[in-house]
């Protein structure tokens, strides 16, 4: 990768301030990636894979993320602007297609981003139910909504202060993962951790379907390595900061995920994780901690401390998601490809106020759902409208020309990592047993988005004529 001073001002600021350095960007990615996901979905991936071979899902998920991370790094250094994917689709496709695809991406974000943010809020509320076992779904929803409102309020700060906050929260999240890993390896049983069932790695139809389900879950848990790309207009030295944050966060979190998987399986039998009521699933790590310290009188207190740390990690992910996603409708509005009201900034803190409050409002509604109801639809929508389109974009002639300029990250063996990532995403879709049902949200978003986009184009032509 070559660097160029001019690349730091490649994108117009549009009123945003470039105050986010490498440490803050890396922290924003990490807290987005971790959140509550791996702590709740660990039993799901063990059940999907049918045993300790779930670690294969984490490893292949990391490879998929690294390959796709190369795509994000290429596009992020070529177009370091607010909005990330919106800018990449706009610049990389021919003008008419680029404008349509970027609009559709911004449109689907109004549905998919709140689902993603709500998953962190719901996870926060579910882990708090450890202290209130009889908490109803309605109360959990109210707690989740309060978490969303609190994070939204905290985001009305200058970007430099937000960078400090992401670093602090990033350290807290890493400390949580490190604590889980330390507890597991100090109470480790290799016999438990590597008790593979007969035929665990026999490749047949059931294995491939299970691997696809495991990859979907691990993909959900890894997502967030690209958060810095949405903040491209606020990043200092993007030609260095973006690739370091993207690829660095994948390497750090991938290592921790694999270690956590092995550590937990070395304490809790995988058969107990694969059952329907494994520690109520929603606080598996608390059960893991209590089991590890079962011989001590303070075992329950230790489990409660784990719950507090994981609740903090989930709040951190909500903070990071709202931080990053609010810049996408803002970027589309600044570009004239979305309602202009989304382009308004807070007079003092230069925060995209309307975009942030809109995402908060829709997220409040999504907090009424159950966690398992949002993950599959979220992954399918994102693969179709974001990852596959970007994979195509990075191989188009416009980007091939752009990547030759100075200050651009150039993936090794271009474009093989992108092709590998696209194949991985297609495999996840193809392995879904209810794919046609899960594609219904995609169809709704696509048809409604095309209708609204067509109406906007028609109105613009009418005004100009």
Residue 433 lies in a domain: no
Residue 446 lies in a domain: no
For helices 95-128 and 37-49, give the axis angle rounded to 10 degrees. 100
> How many CB atoms within 10 Å of residue 298?
10
Each residue of 204-229: b (16+ CB within 10 Å) or e? eeebeebbbbbbbbbbbbbbbbbbbb
Percent of the chain with pLDDT over 70: 93
283 or 89, which is more confident? 89
pLDDT tens per residue, range 387-405: 999 999 999 999 999 998 8
Q: Residue 281: what pLDDT?
A: 60
pLDDT tens per residue, range 295-346: 899 999 999 998 888 888 888 888 888 888 888 888 888 888 888 888 888 7
Contacts of residue 311, Cβ cutoff 8 Å, sequence gap at least 6: 36, 124, 127, 128
CB 250 within 8 A of CB 222: yes
DSSP secondary structure code for residue 197 in this structure: P
Residue 108 lies in a domain: yes
> For residue 42, which phi and psi values (nearest 5 degrees)?
-55, -50
User: Which range of residues forms the domain containing residue 346?
Assistant: 20-422
Q: Residue 285: what pLDDT?
A: 87
| Band of pLDDT at residue 381, cut at 50, 70 and 90 | confident
CATH code where residue 83 lies:
1.20.1740.10
Q: Residue 141: what pLDDT?
A: 92
* Cis-peptide, bond into residue 415, ω within 30° of zero: yes
CA 410 to chain centre: 23
Residue 214 lies in a domain: yes
Average pLDDT over residues 179-195: 92
Positive or negative, the CA dihedral 46, 50, 55, 60 is negative
CB 283 within 8 A of CB 123: no
CB 356 within 8 A of CB 136: no
DSSP-derived secondary structure for 341-389: GGG-B-TTT--BHHHHHHHHHHHHHHTTS-THHHHHHHHHHHIIIIIHH
> How many CB atoms within 10 Å of residue 50?
18
> For residue 157, which phi and psi values (nearest 5 degrees)?
-140, 160
CB 316 within 8 A of CB 35: yes
pLDDT tens per residue, range 196-212: 988 888 888 888 888 88
Residue 388 lies in a domain: yes
Provide the strand spans (E) within 210-263: none
Asked whether residue 112 carries a pLDDT value surpassing 80, the answer given is yes
Task: Give the tokens for residue 85.
Answer: 């994917």
Residue 432 lies in a domain: no
The per-residue pLDDT of the chain, averaged, comes to: 85
Task: Give the tokens for residue 60.
Answer: 């292949």
Asked whether residue 3 carries a pLDDT value surpassing 50, the answer given is no
CA pair distance 367, 146, nearest whole angstrom: 10
Q: Residue 279: what pLDDT?
A: 44
pLDDT tens per residue, range 425-449: 999 988 888 888 878 888 888 899 9
Q: Residue 347: what pLDDT?
A: 76
Please tell me the total count of domains within the chain: 1
Contacts of residue 346, Cβ cutoff 8 Å, sequence gap at least 6: 156, 352, 353
Q: Residue 214: what pLDDT?
A: 87
Asked whether residue 14 carries a pLDDT value surpassing 60, the answer given is no
Q: Which residues pair with 82 in a beta bridge?
A: 231
Cα end-to-end distance, the chain, whole Å: 47
Task: Give the tokens for residue 37.
Answer: 């996901």
Q: Which region among 69-73, 249-253, 330-334, 355-359 has the lowest average model confidence (pLDDT)?
A: 330-334
Residue 183 lies in a domain: yes
pLDDT tens per residue, range 129-155: 888 888 888 999 999 999 999 999 988
In 3D space, the residue among 332, 349, 439, 377 whose CA is nearest the CA of residue 103 turns out to be 332
What is the pTM for the complete model shown? 0.83
Identify the burial level of 438 via C-beta atoms within 10 angstroms of its C-beta, where 0-12 means exposed, 13-18 middle and 19 or more buried.
middle
Q: Residue 252: what pLDDT?
A: 92
> For residue 185, which phi and psi values (nearest 5 degrees)?
-80, -15
For helices 372-382 and 205-222, give the axis angle rounded to 10 degrees. 90
Percent of the chain with pLDDT over 90: 34
CB 264 within 8 A of CB 42: yes
DSSP secondary structure code for residue 20 in this structure: B
Q: Residue 4: what pLDDT?
A: 39
Q: Residue 101: what pLDDT?
A: 92
Residue 454 lies in a domain: no
């Amino acid at each position: 990768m070559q660097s160029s001073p001019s690349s730091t001002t490649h994108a117009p600021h549009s009123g945003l301030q470039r105050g986010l350095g490498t440490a803050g960007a890396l922290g924003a990615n990490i807290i987005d990636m971790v959140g509550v996901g791996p702590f709740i979905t660990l039993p799901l991936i063990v059940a999907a894979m049918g045993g300790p071979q779930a670690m294969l899902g984490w490893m292949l998920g990391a490879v998929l993320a690294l390959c796709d991370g190369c795509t994000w790094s290429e596009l992020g250094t070529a177009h370091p602007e607010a909005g990330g994917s919106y800018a990449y689709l706009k610049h990389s496709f021919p003008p008419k297609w680029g404008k349509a695809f970027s609009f559709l991406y911004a449109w689907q974000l109004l549905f998919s981003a709140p689902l993603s943010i709500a998953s962190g809020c719901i996870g926060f509320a579910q882990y708090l139910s450890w202290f209130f076992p009889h908490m109803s779904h309605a109360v959990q929803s109210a707690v989740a909504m309060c978490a969303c409102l609190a994070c939204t309020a905290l985001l009305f700060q200058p970007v430099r202060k937000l960078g400090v906050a992401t670093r602090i929260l990033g350290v807290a999240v890493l400390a949580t993962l490190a604590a889980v890993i330390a507890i597991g390896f100090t109470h480790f049983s290799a016999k438990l951790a590597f008790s593979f069932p007969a035929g665990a790695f026999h490749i047949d139809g059931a294995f491939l379907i299970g691997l696809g389900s495991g990859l979907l879950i691990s993909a959900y848990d890894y997502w967030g390595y690209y958060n810095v790309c949405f903040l491209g207009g606020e990043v200092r030295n993007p030609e260095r900061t973006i690739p370091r944050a993207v690829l660095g966060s994948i390497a750090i979190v991938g290592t921790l995920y694999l270690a956590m998987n092995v550590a937990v399986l070395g304490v809790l039998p995988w058969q107990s994780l694969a059952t329907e009521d494994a520690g109520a699933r929603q606080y598996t790590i608390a059960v893991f901690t209590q089991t590890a310290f079962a011989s001590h009188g303070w075992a329950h207190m230790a489990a409660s401390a784990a719950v507090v740390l994981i609740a903090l990690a989930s709040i951190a992910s909500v903070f990071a998601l709202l931080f990053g996603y609010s810049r996408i409708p803002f970027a589309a509005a600044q570009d004239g490809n979305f309602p202009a009201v989304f382009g308004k900034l807070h007079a003092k803190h230069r925060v995209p106020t309307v975009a942030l409050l809109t995402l908060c409002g829709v997220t409040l509604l999504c907090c009424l759902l159950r966690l398992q109801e949002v993950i599959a639809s979220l992954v399918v929508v994102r693969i179709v409208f974001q990852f596959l389109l970007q994979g195509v974009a990075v191989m188009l002639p416009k980007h091939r020309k752009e990547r030759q300029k100075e200050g651009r990250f150039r993936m090794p063996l271009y474009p093989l990592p992108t092709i590998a990532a696209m194949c991985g995403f297609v495999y996840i879709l193809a392995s879904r047993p209810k794919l046609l049902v899960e594609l219904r949200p995609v169809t709704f978003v696509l048809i409604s988005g095309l209708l609204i986009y067509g109406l906007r184009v028609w109105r613009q032509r009418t005004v100009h004529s």
